[in-house]
Structure 1
Amino acid sequence: MGTVAAYIDGFNLYYGMKSKYERKYLWLDLIKLVRHLRPEDDVVRVRYFTTIVRGEPAASANQINYVDALRAYSGDLLDVQIGWFKKRTLSPCKLCGAHWHCTCPRRPRTFEEKETDVALAVAMVEDAAAGLADLTLLISADSDFAPAVAAIKRIRPEHPVILAMPSGSLQPHKRFSDVGFFSINETALRQSQLPERIYDPLNSKVRERPDKWR
């Protein structure tokens, strides 16, 4: 048995699950998931990086509810880091030419995520350099993390890095080298759900799984 520190790219995990299973498994216990993925190892830290969506009040409320439930249920083992969105100038929709509102299936995005990827990469490299755990588990299929993985390998060549790729990703991008990898299957997601109701002592509220997340 060794120790593992996990780093979770919240949006990559979200879109991976949603693309294959809709919202069925979004009420996810991240610590339980990591323990399911690495049953032989002792989990010493789980770092979750995400950004609260903007422009969609219901989705934002569900996400905040989930983050608060995670914090209330997981204790100090889970570190949640929230990034931010930067408003950007829209290019016209490629289908209809509209610059703002359109009814096309793929509408233009109005915001782009900032800081979360950089924060994850920095934390992952710093923790590996400090010897926080024997193994680094990265839950993401985003090739933007390849330089951070390469930095870990330069600092500690013997330190194993494993990619746990969200549903739908079968192979890591070619930019990754010297890493182990596997795909997160439906069983792992199904068996790693939070309780339906969680008491949040910080806000004196009961956090419940949203109806749309069933």
Structure 2
Amino acid sequence: MKTAALIDGFNLYHNMNNDKYSKYKWLNFYKLFRYVLGTDESLEIHYFTTVNYEDLLNYNEKEKDAKKQRHLTLIKAEEQHGIISHYGTFRNKEIKCPKCGKKFQRDVEKQTDVGLGAYLTYLAFSLNVKKFIILSADTDLSPAIKLIKSNIRKVKINLLLPPGVTKTKLSENCNKTIPLTEELLSKCLFPPVFKAVDGKTIKCPPEWL
């Protein structure tokens, strides 16, 4: 039976972008899910993310380019193992402070969680996939999961929590919730340097070493 793994890239990033977990950003998704599944069953991995860093407001041009290049390097590394990337966008959103009433612009990613939820339902209803594992703690995915679970018999949806997350209401709709521990992260990193299938060298961004 095929398992489809779906990764909420920015939910994962926001939970790893700190002093404790930044050193694990060079994460090999294929190796991670193989560890979690513990079997050689057929595996298809989908990565939902955003790369239009040029639209970010809170960084200068040099910082935007550096962030984008690091991310593209990671994506290239992941795609060596067959990971399929799906792209959303960054958008600028006007936020009003509830205390002072002042309005300001904030960067938010759009369509990544919506894209994941839509593709999850597509795999379940159109391609008859019966086993899933989702790497996210975003409760916005609950409607899609509920829809699938209430309409398809014998479907199994497991949840892999981002590092540092101990619980989420998303678990209420899933068969099993698995914590992503620091020990597991440490076992699932790419080598600092390795050869791509095209013969070019892929190097871990020095900021992540």
Relative to the length of structure 2, the TM-score reads: 0.83
Cα distance change, pair 94–201 in 1 and its aligned pair in 2 (3 A): farther
Cα distance change, pair 158–135 in 1 and its aligned pair in 2 (3 A): same
Asked if 1:180 is matched to 2:176, the reply is yes
Asked if 1:74 is matched to 2:81, the reply is yes
**Displacement of 1:85:** 0.7
Cα distance change, pair 131–20 in 1 and its aligned pair in 2 (3 A): farther
**Displacement of 1:140:** 0.4
Per-residue CA distance 1:172-204 (angstroms, 9 max, x = gap)? 2168325311211112211111122233466x7
2:193 to 178, 191, 197: 197
Question: Equivalent residues in 2 for 1:33-182 (5 A)?
Answer: 33-40=32-39, 42-52=41-51, 53=53, 54=56, 55=59, 56-57=63-64, 58-71=66-79, 73-75=80-82, 78-91=83-96, 110-173=106-169, 176-182=172-178
Structure 2 stretches lacking a partner, 5+ long: none
RMSD over aligned Cα, in angstroms? Answer: 2.6
Following the alignment from structure 2 to structure 1, what is the Cα–Cα distance between the partners of residues 93 and 12? 24
Following the alignment from structure 1 to structure 2, what is the Cα–Cα distance between the partners of residues 88 and 201? 40
Asked if 1:206 is matched to 2:201, the reply is yes
Query: What's 1:29 paired with?
Result: 28
Following the alignment from structure 2 to structure 1, what is the Cα–Cα distance between the partners of residues 207 and 49? 20
Secondary structure of residue in 2 paired with 1:42: coil
Secondary structure of residue in 2 paired with 1:110: strand
Aligned residues: 200
Cα distance change, pair 196–132 in 1 and its aligned pair in 2 (3 A): farther
Structure 1 stretches lacking a partner, 5+ long: 101-108
Identical aligned residues as a percent? 27
Partner amino acid, structure 2, of 1:134? K
* Native 8 Å contact 1:165 1:184 kept in 2: yes
Cα distance change, pair 160–200 in 1 and its aligned pair in 2 (3 A): same
* Native 8 Å contact 1:8 1:48 kept in 2: yes
Following the alignment from structure 2 to structure 1, what is the Cα–Cα distance between the partners of residues 151 and 19? 37
Partner amino acid, structure 2, of 1:191? K
Secondary structure of residue in 1 paired with 2:167: coil
Cα distance change, pair 94–32 in 1 and its aligned pair in 2 (3 A): farther
Partner amino acid, structure 1, of 2:10? F
Cα distance change, pair 200–122 in 1 and its aligned pair in 2 (3 A): same
Following the alignment from structure 2 to structure 1, what is the Cα–Cα distance between the partners of residues 36 and 29? 11
